[in-house]
Amino acid sequence: MNRHLSDRPGEGEQRDPVAEFFARERADIRELPAGAERWESIVVEARRPVRHRWLPYLAGAAAVAVVAGVLWGNGRGPATEQAAGPATSTASASSARVATGTPTVGGPSASSTASSGLTTPSTKGPLPVPASFDLVSMTNAGGKHLYALGRATCPQGMCTAVIGSDDDGATWTTRASFPTLTSPGARSTPDRAHQVVGIRFANAQVGYVFGSATMRTVDGGRTWHAVDVDRRIVLSLETDGKQVWMATARSCLHNVVGGVRGCSDLQPRSGVVTDATTQPVRLDGMPVGGENAWIAMDGSDAYYNVTSTEPVAPWPAVRLSGKPAVLARPRGCDGASGMWVSTTANTRGALLAVCPSAGQPTAAYSLATSTDRGTTWVTRPAPGLGAPTPTGVWLTATDTTHLVAVTHGLAASTGTPEAQTGVLTSADGGASWRAAGLAAGGATDWAGAAGGTLVYAVAGGRSYWVSHDSGATFEQVQLRR
């Protein structure tokens, strides 16, 4: 029957209101994307009081069982016998299936295949954070927009998901899931195909997930497309909102037979956030291999850090933006090594450097401060940071006075982090340190200053820590809807 004329019977035709009702309901049924998050939302909905339009939702749930065989059935975990290398190409990233969108009860759902090969369903309504979500990385895009990357459990095994908040962390919803991608965690370099280790957003719409697969979104995390990184692993990615900077490697190994480990053919790369291509940044005299490499941003200035593998120590840091230049080594730092450079969230031109101390490079660190982009330094001993280790010290700061350090906090190729991390804070420029006491009995993987007096800390699970007073105190925030 023609639904537009169903309010009046046709000539010689008997109206059947029941048949008309079911015809209308069948016409409204749409397939919903499959996934662990969808099943969780069905379970949650089923526990609520019965309400109207329940029939289409049940039909949609039945469709999920059918679609699941297509969306999840071919998901493969990364091969365990090989390092992430040439196989982790742009094509590999493109082939990763992406389940995105936030469907509503009875709402429309339509799948499309993007030009990069990603499956990107387009739907309506919010999905909750997966119950199995294990936070790995997060980023503040400004304007109260936060995004996070985490591990989750999908029907075929471990996967990853991107969640987001548009109200400064008060509520969170799932933006996308990657059934074929996994994560080794925030403090490990990617050593296999189809791994991601971090997320960064340039603004509320444009963002990146990176690792041995690197992808970009331009719609707030709902659809993702491969980034051209010359078939390389992205170890670190940072952006000032206009330019994106990356530390990359051709391959990484984790403590294989013979003790060989580390990342080979290190190379910084850069591109504009309005494009999905990147170009290498040419450096002379920098190592081609190392334990890890990462980027620190000070406004539009990008700094490049590398940790050597044998012996484990920092290399000299390089300013990448403009004409690349090696930074002068601060006095008080060991002459045979370099330093790890950090920036502040609020003081432009201010740099912090952690280095093995001159005279006792295996026993203590020194902390150096510069207010002129690394031209001159003031150095002081930093015994409170402990003795140098392969996993070093991750340092972040709101300014040159208020610092937050994560001991054993650098990503490494040792496979398993050698020691549990600790979070230390200083309110006097590093002259003294105290324990922040965040995750009792657990490891805190990362901390980052985000402007003003905001500092975030990630410790895994379905929560994170935030400080509104430059690290003096922290409160735990749950990833709830």
Give the residue, 9 or 267, on which the prediction is more confident. Answer: 267
Task: Give residue 60's region: left, alpha or beta (phi > 0; psi -120 to 50).
Answer: alpha
pLDDT reported for residue 20? 57
pLDDT reported for residue 74? 29
Provide the sign of the torsion angle of the four alpha carbons 451, 452, 457, 463, taken in this order: negative
Closest CA to 149 of 125, 129, 167, 166: 129
Q: Which residues on adjacent β-strands are paired with residue 135?
A: 150
Q: Is the peptide bond before 9 cis (omega within 30 degrees of 0)?
A: no
pLDDT reported for residue 88? 40
pLDDT single digits (tens) 359-371: 899 999 999 999 9
Alpha-carbon gap, residue 53 to 308, rounded angstroms? 61
Q: Are the beta carbons of 371 and 379 closer than 8 angstroms?
A: no
Across 96-113, average pLDDT: 33
Residue partners of 214: CB distance under 8 A and separation at least 6: 93, 196, 208, 226, 227, 229, 234, 237
pLDDT reported for residue 137? 97
Alpha-carbon gap, residue 56 to 103, rounded angstroms? 13
Backbone angles phi, psi at 305, to 5 degrees: -115, 140
Q: Which amino acid is at 401?
A: T
pLDDT reported for residue 26? 53
Across 411-427, average pLDDT: 79
Alpha-carbon gap, residue 402 to 400, rounded angstroms? 6
pLDDT reported for residue 311? 76
Give the residue, 317 or 44, on which the prediction is more confident. Answer: 317
pLDDT single digits (tens) 238-271: 999 999 999 999 999 987 767 788 999 999 999 9
DSSP letter string, 292-312 = EEEEEEETTEEEEEEEETTTT
Residue 270 tokens, joined: 């850069």
Q: Which amino acid is at 142?
A: G
pLDDT single digits (tens) 293-325: 999 999 999 999 999 887 778 999 999 999 999
Across 38-44, average pLDDT: 42
pLDDT reported for residue 60? 31
Q: By mean pLDDT, which of 73-82, 290-299, 333-342, 448-457 is the weakest?
A: 73-82
> Could you give the angle at the alpha carbon of 127 between the alpha carbons of 122 and 128, nearest 5°?
160
Give the residue, 266 or 437, on which the prediction is more confident. Answer: 266
The rounded percent of the chain whose pLDDT value lies above 70 is 72
DSSP letter string, 304-356 = EEEEETTTTEEPPPEE-SSS-EEPPPPTTB-TTS--EEEEBSS-TT-EEEEEE
pLDDT reported for residue 284? 84
* Sheet containing strand 434-435, strands side by side: 393-397, 403-407, 422-426, 434-435
Q: Which domains does the chain have, with CATH numbers?
A: 3-71 (no CATH), 90-478 (2.130.10.10)
pLDDT reported for residue 90? 41
Across 1-8, average pLDDT: 35
This prediction has a pTM of: 0.77
Across 90-104, average pLDDT: 41
pLDDT reported for residue 27? 52
